Homo-oligomer: A and B are copies of this chain.
């Protein structure tokens, strides 16, 4: 497989990009190379690295718009949990496909998922061709989230690996998973070279609960049980930390210092955090402490979108008002948390368009009004555009969307919609 992309704007200059296999092989002017597929940007498209959504629950696309404007507890207890009890493997398969459709259409080339029925997530993702880190949910109070279930899934996955998919160990949270199981998760991840993915300090209540039970803050608790430490093996690809902590809102300075020392990645989920009134992510402090900050949408039931363009705008603007300083979280930085930093967290060789890197990239239609007059592409991308400006998407060297067309779109929307009715009827 090879793809030649002609005449696209890359870092402000007109360039050709040659993709061979799953990698960017060559970038240059007027490349005269033979390729199986060709896209001509005609100078009217820009190439950008694909966006990396570092925390979501993709299949919850089935619940988009189902339960809004409710108190967090009512949202969970009266609406989301009863419906999720009914969710089947088949539902997750179609829900994930619907989510991937949305992600492709809005320029995301990789997502870090956490949900039930990992097998269905894997199958849907493989079929759609997107890159993902799949975290089959581990939680104490639902059989579907048992460690036995996870081990079985992991064994099966090892027999039929995919270069697009990694498995992460994803214990739900410190309040949803016992100390013993958290330690098991940590050890299993270390032994098998896997990422860890967990919700952390999303609400003030969670912190208070931890203080009450463990007499310490959530990060201190995780540190104490050894969850945050780097895996021991010096040859491990996990060097530099393997913990991905979603939300991470209610952190004090001491906790931030621990996260930095342990080389954790934290995921900023601006829309979900403010929609559920959880709080505002301490971006500036984490940035100053040099913690790796990445960006995520959270699930479509609490956002309600998977469009990382919209998420970038929220990410920046929210910090400006939090700090009452319009220079905080500038566009360039925010674009990096949505690309480079995500790649670093998920340990994939992407997030930039460079020779030798994975060919995970998007083309932007520069004729869109939101990108006109075009003083500054990164500003326009972060502050003005929506995912609809993405014309083409390439993941792992394969064209998944061309001129906004994706194969099978209508069927996925229909099947997913059909399944939601049953899930929300009581």
Q: A420 interface residue, CB < 8 Å from B?
A: yes
Contact A65 B305 (CB under 8 A): no
Residues of B within 8 A of A65 (CB): 373-376, 379-380, 383-384
Considering only residues 342-381 of chain A, those with a C-beta below 8 Å from chain B are 367, 369-370, 372-376, 379-380
Q: With contacts A69-B326, A314-B314, A324-B279 known, is A413 near B369, CB below 8 A?
A: yes
Q: With contacts A98-B369, A277-B320, A369-B413 known, is A327 near B71, CB below 8 A?
A: yes
Residues of B within 8 A of A318 (CB): 274, 321
Contact B331 A375 (CB under 8 A): no
Q: A131 interface residue, CB < 8 Å from B?
A: no
Contact A279 B68 (CB under 8 A): no
Query: How many monomers of this protein are in the complex?
Result: 2
Bits for A49-78, please: 1 = Cβ < 8 Å to B, else 0.
000000000000111111011111001000
Residues of B within 8 A of A321 (CB): 273-274, 277-280, 318
Q: How large is the interface on A (under 10, 10 to 19, 20 to 34, 35 or more residues)?
A: 35 or more
Contact A373 B64 (CB under 8 A): yes
User: Nearest 8 A-B pairs (CB), nearest first?
Assistant: A69-B330, A274-B321, A65-B379, A386-B386, A373-B417, A373-B420, A277-B326, A304-B384
A275-B383, A307-B386 known; 19 new pairs, CB 8 Å cut-off, are A64-B373, A65-B376, A65-B379, A68-B383, A69-B379, A101-B369, A271-B317, A274-B321, A275-B316, A277-B328, A303-B384, A304-B383, A305-B383, A310-B386, A369-B413, A372-B413, A372-B417, A373-B416, A374-B417
**Which residues in A have some Cβ–Cβ distance to B below 8 Å?**
61-66, 68-72, 75, 98, 101-102, 105, 271, 273-280, 300, 303-305, 307, 310, 313-314, 316-318, 320-321, 323-328, 330-331, 367, 369-370, 372-376, 379-380, 383-384, 386-388, 413, 416-417, 420, 424
